[in-house]
Structure 1
């Protein structure tokens, strides 16, 4: 049996420290001889492989980036009014939309002038639509990739757009004429508004939207003209004129309900100005300086002392009528602010100015009136409160038809009649036409005018008290029904 070579240090191996050889040279001819055994050098331990570091780290970063991007970017293939915004943040999309809108160009008619969205003051709520695009179509939601384009409303700045279009196509514009209100000498009258013309901004806004949505840098459009109406239109002007004319109808300075100092229309119209503002509303303003001269004249027109009035009564104390209505006295107060106060009031549509006055009431006195006939004197007396105011000769009833004495009161009155009857003294009938100012006091006995004789101071009648017609009219107006009559000798 052949011995096996043993690794040094193995169990049963010779001790190298003894000096014995680890192996012997085989003898010549020894058929069992083998080549000498060589110990192979120990191989180093294999290194651990770290390839995943070289591949895994970048992939992880990419994956993390994709995940992060999917949380902040809009889905691929998304467009807003023709502007691609996919793979952009909402902020970047906002900028892209605004930039494209500003650069979109409209050619106004074939070969016509050009205006851009920026020239027209075109705006779109880009931020809101970009936020909506991101909210509805985030990148991580693959079901929303390459969806239908989103629309947006385009708005034009009316003032800026009109200015740009006027510069580009001045022939398309004619200025409208606003309605006006002015005094024509008798009243406020309206000059009607005249419409102008211009480019229809609503239609042009639609054209800009279509050009923007198409993605074209420039687009030729048809220019639509439209009527341009001013807000200060004829109807508004007429309403203002009607209001101003209503003020002219009753303008003045009042004490109570009395228009104490009327103001003529031309003067009042000179105080007023009717104008319209930017909104088309008409307003009335008044100039205090123009009102002041009229205010300065007020004391002479307003101030007055009281005038006493009288109530007609008879001896029984019955009120029979008003002899004079009486008139309160007035004293004008402080007028230092009247002009400015009236101007403010006129601007509000009120043309009746209440004056500051102190009123002194009139005193009403009783007037006891009496028609007295003295048959002996053939004379009539008219008395008031026992005082004779006037007297004149009359003709009373002749003998056999005397005017009866006594105390009576005026009854029925008529300004004209035909008197008929039978004379008590002769028994003959009579007819007297057109007898004026008859006032009956005792049956068929009356005061009246006489035109058929002038024999005053003598008994001439069939019982009535006759007198000149003007005297009969005098007492007819002076003595109402119920006034006392006293006939005596």
Structure 2
């Protein structure tokens, strides 16, 4: 039998347990002489900490809730009928896009069905989701269960039209585009004729309304509408007007001269006026049709220079052109003319400037002078200082009692008159030298006040002083200088 032997305090009725470093002696009764052996004491029991097992999970949950409140959208939030509460902005974006793509329109009772995806419908789902999260985060309990956020929906007009045409082909009548054609004199327009179809804007609105209402499928009544051709009458008329304006000045030019005109029918035969897919009319020209005319240009353009002659005075002023002159020209390289002209016609310009090399003309200047030598009673006609003709005249008297000399000096012809009546203005009673009146005096050219060159028919005393100050001569000679000396020609009267 084995008894437990305790320390002297073993009989203590206390229920205290030995501490971890206490020992217990084990006594073997059958071997009373055996030495005492000490057994290790039981380890002290650890105190239980249950609060750690409860508090740790609660803390994790609380932390997760805080994080979730910072990244999730408030419950009860809907974007266009799509519930996005308890979702991240990314998940909400996907949900909005998917719902719109699956929203179905039934075209009339029992009619064909088209989804948002079929219509190319789109919505800025990311922006809407970001707005929902920004305005209604989970942590903001005041925004829970708010009103639905509207979502502007757009559709791809072309894709929707194609889908509607395929679904309801009998609802469509094709429009007739406007056209432009040449009638022999000008380009004229055949007006466009409208067709009919389904109002795409109405379909877009009904898709939006169904989407916002949260309807996944809704029956609509397609609305008929007029379908106009993109190639409108107005666009066609504008193109015709532009082409007709070109026909009016079409041709090949040297400077401002339309050297080789192109008639309207020929120019029109080069042109095609047709609309593109957008309905914009374009003018195109065929260079191959222009080339045959380009091949004939050389003899029509080339010309030798023509020298001219002009009358001037001592100041170099050109008073009259007696022989018109013009520069010569030689047509340059025409290898690209047809192609360039075709491009120019397409841009709306029918006047093509030809490449030419100019050979300048020579202009002869004749500086003319009417010179009267009073001592000789002679008139000299001079060109560039050379006498070209001469004859006797009658100048003004300078004797006592009959003193009306032709005044010396340098002048210029200032006016021409083919016939006039001349009088002294002092009376007509014949009582004095200054009392005279002579009708039908011809070929008059004034140069100094009332003094003039003119014809005389009442005497033939040439070479003697006979006049009241004018330079007289036979009518035939007066007509000669009347034509020879334009206004501005120099006059020199001297002794």
Give the alignment's TM-score, normalised by structure 2.
0.65
Distance in structure 1 (CA, Å) of the matches to 2:357 and 2:68: 89
- Map 1:391-470 to 2 at 5 A: 442-443=455-456
Change (3 A) 1:49 1:333: same
Per the alignment, residue 296 of structure 1 pairs with 295
The residue aligned with 2:333 is: 334
Cα distance change, pair 44–309 in 1 and its aligned pair in 2 (3 A): closer
Report the Cα distance in structure 2 between the residues aligned to 1:320 and 1:107, rounded to whole angstroms.
91
**Residue 444 of structure 1: how far off its partner (Å):** 6.1
Shift of 1:278: 3.2
Q: Following the alignment from structure 2 to structure 1, what is the Cα–Cα distance between the partners of residues 131 and 233?
A: 46
- Partner of 2:80 in structure 1? 81
Residue of structure 2 equivalent to 1:152: 151
Q: Offset at 1:212? A: 1.3
Query: How far apart, CA to CA, are the structure 2 residues paired with 1:12 and 1:360?
Result: 151
Matches of residues 229-378 of structure 1 in structure 2 within 5 Å? 229-309=228-308, 322=321, 324-364=323-363
Shift of 1:335: 1.4
Correspondences of 1:22-101 after superposition (within 5 Å): 48-101=47-100
| Partner residue, 1:448 | none
Map 1:198-209 onto structure 2 (within 5 A): 198-209=197-208
**Once the 2 structures are TM-superposed, how far is the Cα of residue 196 of structure 1 from its aligned partner?**
2.3
- Deviation, 1:213, is 1.9
Q: Cα–Cα, structure 1 residues 243 and 480, in superposed 2: closer, same or farther, change >3 Å?
A: farther
**Residues 234/134 of structure 1: CA separation in 2 closer, same or farther (3 Å cut):** same
Q: 1:118 to 1:320 in 2, by over 3 A?
A: closer
Cα-to-partner distance string for 1:42-75 (whole Å, 9 max, x where unaligned): 9996652232244333323322322222222111
Which residue does the alignment assign to 1:29? Answer: none
- CA distance 1:97–1:11, change in 2 (3 Å): closer
CA contact under 8 A between 1:272 and 1:285: conserved in structure 2?
A: yes
How far apart, in 2, do the equivalents of 1:483 and 1:11 lie? 170
- Superposed CA deviations along residues 387-443 of structure 1, whole A, max 9, x for unmatched, are 9xxxxxxxxxxxxxxxxx9779xx8669xxxxxxxxxxxxxxxxxxxxxxx999845
Matched-pair contact (CA < 8 Å) for 1:320–1:481: no
CA distance in structure 2 between the partners assigned to 1:8 and 1:174 by the alignment = 117
Instruction: Classify 1:364/1:47 alpha carbon distance in 2 versus 1 (closer, same or farther; 3 Å).
Output: closer
SS for the counterpart of 2:129 is helix
Residue 176 (str. 1) matches residue 150 (str. 2): no
- Decide whether the 8 Å contact of 1:75 with 1:146 is kept in 2: yes
Aligned pair in 2 of structure 1 residues 47, 329: CA closer, same or farther (>3 Å)? closer
Q: Shift of residue 143 of structure 1?
A: 1.2
Shift of 1:12: 12
1:331/1:147 CA distance change after superposition, 3 Å: same
Per the TM alignment, residue 154 of structure 1 is displaced from its structure 2 partner at its CA by 0.6
Structure 2 residue 213 is matched with structure 1 residue 214: yes
Aligned-pair CA distance for 1:82? 0.5
Whether the 8 Å CA contact 1:320–1:483 is kept in 2: the answer is no
Give the superposition deviation at 1:92.
1.5
Asked whether the equivalents of residues 179 and 233 of structure 1 are also in contact (C-alpha less than 8 Å), the reply is yes
Task: Note the C-alpha offset of 1:296.
Answer: 0.8
User: Which 5+ residue runs of structure 1 have no aligned equivalent?
Assistant: 1-6, 17-41, 369-384, 388-404, 415-437, 446-462, 466-477, 485-489
Residue 359 (structure 1) shift: 2.6
Q: CA deviation at 1:176?
A: 2.1
* CA–CA separation in structure 2 for the residues paired with 1:200 and 1:46: 86
SS in 2 for 1:71: helix
Deviates more, 1:279-288 or 1:335-344: 279-288
Instruction: Describe the SS at the equivalent of 1:482.
Output: helix
Following TM superposition, the consecutive aligned residue runs of length 4 or more in structure 1 with deviations greater than 6 angstroms are 42-46, 405-408, 411-414, 438-441
* Distance in structure 2 (CA, Å) of the matches to 1:170 and 1:295: 52
In 2, distance between residues paired with 1:351 and 1:12? 136
CA deviation after TM superposition for structure 1 residue 301, in Å: 0.5
- Of structures 1 and 2, the larger Rg is shown by 1
Of the structure 1 ranges 358-367 and 203-212, higher mean CA displacement relative to structure 2 is found in: 358-367
User: TM-score by structure 1 length?
Assistant: 0.65
